[in-house]
Structure 1
């Protein structure tokens, strides 16, 4: 799944028409992950269960060493901008990160949390809406 995305992203950067989006649709149908080729994905990003049910906004930025559990939404809220996820972040199953928010380094997002505002580095957030429950 991630290999197909990397090829699609390379073709997108090279401005190859149509083929990146065909690969995106292939990933969507076969693996059930929506990861557009325009997303910036860092090194060592792990998609739980091969990305099952994960949806990522086309302008999102994912840092390095991130673990994303199944059924996570990293998306917009109908306004300009998309989430920026820092390095070494853990995102629990079913979490929603919505709008132009920034998730700081070493943060943890609990399962089914709904994040609609910035998360400082090194904290754990849970709940709807997400709130800080511990600091590193």
Structure 2
């Protein structure tokens, strides 16, 4: 899949199901990452570990926008909406919208944004 679609997902990545990559790659996911149910990952995204510090755990129904980076031993809570080009390096709270480098809270409407963008309940 990596050569044809520019999506690099090692076989060791744990994916709960319902993963959506609506526009293809490039997308790179760390071999130790965990991805929850019904997430949406857009192009130019990196879900990367930091050597010796672990890899990201992505909760359920998380939207990861174009060009976003989730780095290190962080937990992205359920219904987190990560805006395009955002860099997440700290744990998130459920139902939040994040933007910026490094990520900062934009609002607490993450669940609403996820529902609109992904059609999840």
TM range (shorter): 0.7 to 0.9
For 1:46, the equivalent position in structure 2 comes to 20
Unaligned runs of 5+ in 1: 1-26
**So what's the TM-score if we normalise by structure 2?**
0.87
Bigger mean CA offset, 76-85 vs 66-75:
76-85
Aligned 8 A contact 2:32 2:49 in 1: no
Which of 85, 92, 100 is the matching residue for 2:65? 92
Distance 2:17 2:50 in 1: 27
Distance 1:55 1:64 in 2: 18
Query: Which fold has the larger relative contact order, with Cα–Cα distance below 8 Å and residues 6 or more apart in sequence?
Result: 2
Distance 2:52 2:38 in 1: 28
| Deviation (angstroms), 1:30 | 1.2
Quick check: 1:28 aligned with 2:28?
A: no
For 1:119, the equivalent position in structure 2 comes to 92
1:66-85 to structure 2, matched below 5 A, reads: 66-85=39-58
Aligned 8 A contact 1:79 1:99 in 2: no
Unaligned runs of 5+ in 2: 110-121
Q: Following TM superposition, where does structure 1 have runs of at least 4 consecutive aligned residues deviating by more than 6 angstroms?
A: none
Q: More helix per residue: 1 or 2?
A: 1
Would you say how many aligned residue pairs link Structure 1 and Structure 2? 109
